Amino acid sequence: MTLMLIDSASLWYRAYYGMPDTLVAPDGTPVNAIRGYIDMTARLIAIYKPTRIVAALDGDWRPTWRVDLFPDYKANRLEQEGEEEEEPETLTPQIPILLELLDLFGIPVVGVDDFEADDVMATYADNENGPVRIVTGDRDLFQMVDDKRDIKVVYLAKGVSAHDLVDYNYISAKYQIPGERYALFAVFRGDPSDGLPGVRGIGEKGAALIARNFSSLTDAIEGAKIAHEALPPALAKKILAGLDYLKVAPTVVALARTVPLPRIDLSTPQAPQDLSVIYQFKERYGLGASVDRLISALNW
């Protein structure tokens, strides 16, 4: 009864940059991101055999409630003119085609206004029964890992063929912290890709030391105040100097788990009586074997 949650933007960007731009439809429309996305989805379905599946979208890649708390959130991705992050011009026309294809296959696609795809996936993971496999190239989702509930991250940083299946042991080995404390570690370390600086002067090693010795932010701050023996004086001083940041960072870093999700059937789609519409779509956009691989992975 595995639920697979797909970080769609993560997949289509990876597909766009990983597939040759010579892949085009008969009318010249680029389709490299579409084909790569479908190929990866087919392979992951074949590996993990989900009985439920969701393709998650950003309702807003920079939610107002996060920006209100921390105005610099993802500000590094904004154009100098103040416009939204620029999307590659040959990727943009592919996205509505891809979403139409997912709809033809009956794969649920969910995005919710003022929430990121990460929040959508976190809410599903928090509310649905396991096993849950979260497909992403974003380490923010590591905070959702839960060995007891069998929630793991299919981490695509090295591609689908060499992907990591992230559990507590993976987090522990990679960061030298208890696996369940990734969110605490992330608050102190920060994430430059999201414009989150972390606590000034505390890098990955300092954040790991804190997460190893304290189970919560409250405990870590109290430890700094009383000069806990586990904290070098310089590190304790940095924690106390960063209290203003630490008032808002946990909420910004933590994934929302109460997103108002639509009431839809998440079941992996069953074969329709007639595949002709999908085949026509395949021919129209020159999607070739990619569509066939997804049909095969779904056992249609």
Same domain, 140 and 225: no
Same domain, 207 and 94: no
Same domain, 185 and 237: yes
- The residue type of 161 is S
Same domain, 216 and 145: no
DSSP string computed for 135-182: EES-GGGGGG-BTTTTEEEEE-TT-STT-EEE-HHHHHHHHSS-GGGH
CATH code for the domain of 198: 1.10.150
228-278, pLDDT tens digit by residue? 999 999 999 999 999 999 999 999 999 999 999 999 999 999 999 999 999
60-104, pLDDT tens digit by residue? 999 999 999 999 899 888 754 445 556 789 999 999 999 999 999
Same domain, 154 and 235: no
Domain of 130 in residue numbering reads as: 3-168+256-297
Q: How many helices (H) does the chain have, and how many strands (E)?
A: 13, 6
CATH code for the domain of 83: 3.40.50.1010
Same domain, 204 and 290: no
Same domain, 26 and 150: yes
Q: Please provide the average confidence, as pLDDT, over all residues in the chain.
A: 95
Same domain, 163 and 284: yes
